[in-house]
């Protein structure tokens, strides 16, 4: 599989994951989606995307009451 095909596959996986969250009634913040897409394109490591997401929400409430 070429790197272009792998990137398309990864971006589709991000799209599907975000859609699944929306089906569950959850909203994925645009900056998190951007990080996921950057990781899918290989611009950042997946671990870095996870760290950035954690840092954004480490002190906030994840779920509503």
Tens-digit pLDDT profile for residues 21-51: 999 999 999 999 999 999 999 999 999 999 9
Which structure tokens are listed for 42?
Answer: 């290989």
Which structure tokens are listed for 23?
Answer: 């089906």
Helix axes 3-23, 30-40, angle to 10 degrees: 150
Task: Give residue 64's pLDDT.
Answer: 52
Distance of alpha carbon 51 from alpha carbon 55, whole angstroms: 6
The answer, yes or no, to whether residue 61 has pLDDT greater than 80, is no
Q: Name the pTM for this structure.
A: 0.80
């Amino acid at each position: 599989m070429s790197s272009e095909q792998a990137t398309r596959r990864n971006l589709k996986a991000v799209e599907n994951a975000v859609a699944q969250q929306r089906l569950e009634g959850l909203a994925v913040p645009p900056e998190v989606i951007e990080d996921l897409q950057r990781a899918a394109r290989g611009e950042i490591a997946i671990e870095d995307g996870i760290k950035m997401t954690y840092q954004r929400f480490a002190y906030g409430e994840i779920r509503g009451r």
